[in-house]
Amino acid sequence: MADEKKRLLTGLQSSGQLHIGNYLGALKRFVGAYADYESMLMVADLHALTSVKNPAQLREGIIDVVADYIAVGVDPTKATIFKQSDVLEHPELAWIFECLVTVPFLQQAHAFKDKVAKGLEANAGLFNYPMLMAADILLYDTDVVPVGEDQRQHIEYAREAAAKFNLAYGDTFKEPKEMILEGVGTVPGVDGKKMSKSYGNTIPLFGTDEAIRVAVMSIKTDSTAVGAPLNPTTDITFQLHQHFTPNLAEIQKRYMDGTIGYKESKELLAHNIIATIAPMRERRAALSREAVIQILKDGAEVARARAQAKMKDVREKIGVGLY
Ligand code: TYM
């Protein structure tokens, strides 16, 4: 075969400012791997609709996610960057999967269960979310999906959808594998829980220096007195140092000697985060809105052609493709 490259696809919702959990768990992972695969990067704008009801916010969110991908180092000539809503085969395939899986199966999905457990009313889009995500992945015969730990179950659901379809209609979809990087599967937020927009505990990836400093200085600590040794394994600030601080061994030693306090450690972390993202910010600032829109238009053409070829086969198999 001429094309032996495996396929990689990932997606990010366009539902607000990306945080350093998204960066470490998904974007950085993608940047490290995508050149070795036939890669697709998707802006999950239909998924974002489950929570974003403001059109201006959704529009800006889409542009922002693409700018963020480019800023962290994705070359749009090497990966197909597109938005979900440009390829209508995604919701079409999601519907077909929804007709194969049961309600109790979808009720077990974490995102839905969490919402219900909090006593909140989930919309039907949130309930069906995993099947749209399965369609995103399976439409393109994806081999690997770089994501954070919180998406592991969604990849299992995609495998399950593929298996159910294959069983009912014959071998059609590949079962994908998650690619979760050790140590960054769950990046903690400033309160120690998983960093998440919905918990309000994030450190913004492309915030102002001040916003990054304010978030870092608010990281939860215990009440160990200045001058006493600190425990690097339990400290949230130290966990984040591991991803941004070059002289980590020295900082670890200072924790154990008691020669660094929480305040100094946080100031150093904020400084190192800002230094890491400085070149990314420059790339982001150099990118025009028109350039982002062109990237999305070009990506949509490539994605559409692939998705349409796959769906032709699917429609024939399920019995709706008559001509
Ligand atoms: P989203 O937009 O919530 O998150 C984007 C990516 O960031 C990862 N992530 C984290 N990783 C480590 N630590 C954290 N604290 C953290 N918070 C978020 C997520 O795991 C994710 O990889 N359902 C997906 C979007 C999606 C998708 C897809 C992904 C739609 N279709 C197809 C892959 C393939 C989501 O909600 O991502």
CATH code: domain of residue 261:
1.10.240.10
CA 148 – ligand 1 centroid, Å: 6
Q: Indicate if 219 and 90 belong to the same structural domain.
A: no
Same domain (yes/no): 146, 36: yes
Q: Is residue 198 part of a domain?
A: no
Q: Do 14 and 128 lie in a common domain?
A: yes
Give the chain's domain count: 2
Whether 119 is in a domain gets the answer yes
Residue 103 belongs to some domain of the structure: yes
pLDDT at residue 25 in the model: 87
One domain, residues 92 and 154: yes
Catalytic amino acids? 115, 194, 197
Res 1: pLDDT: 46
167 and 252: one domain?
A: no
Residue nearest to atom 27 of ligand 1 (CA): 11
pLDDT score, position 3: 57
Q: Which domain holds residue 29?
A: 7-186+289-318
- Which domain CATH number covers 106? 3.40.50.620
Q: Is residue 161 in some structural domain?
A: yes
Q: Could you tell me if 169 and 244 lie in one domain?
A: no
Name the residue at shortest CA distance from atom 16 of ligand 1. Answer: 21
Q: In a mutational test of the pocket of ligand 1, which residue from 131, 151, 174 has the highest number of ligand atoms less than 8 Å from its CB?
A: 151
Ligand 1 pocket by C-beta < 6 Å: which residues?
A: 9-13, 21-22, 25-26, 44, 47, 133, 136-137, 145, 147-148, 150-151, 154, 184, 186-187, 194-196
Note whether 52 and 126 are same-domain residues.
yes
The pTM for the full model equals 0.93
- The answer to whether residues 159 and 225 belong to one domain is no
pLDDT for residue 142: 98
195 is a domain residue: no
In a domain? residue 24: yes
Let me know whether 141 and 270 are in one domain.
no
Query: Tell me: the pLDDT tens digits for 202-245?
Result: 999 998 999 999 999 999 999 898 899 999 999 999 999 999 99
> How much distance in Å is there from the Cα of 24 to the middle of ligand 1?
11
| Residue 1 domain flag | no
Same domain, 246 and 295: no
Q: Which of 64, 67, 132 is nearest to 97 (CA)?
A: 132
172 plus 238 within the same structural domain: no
Distance 230 CA to ligand 1 centre (A): 32
| Domain contains 197 | no
Same domain, 90 and 224: no
State which residues of the chain have pLDDT below 50. 1-2
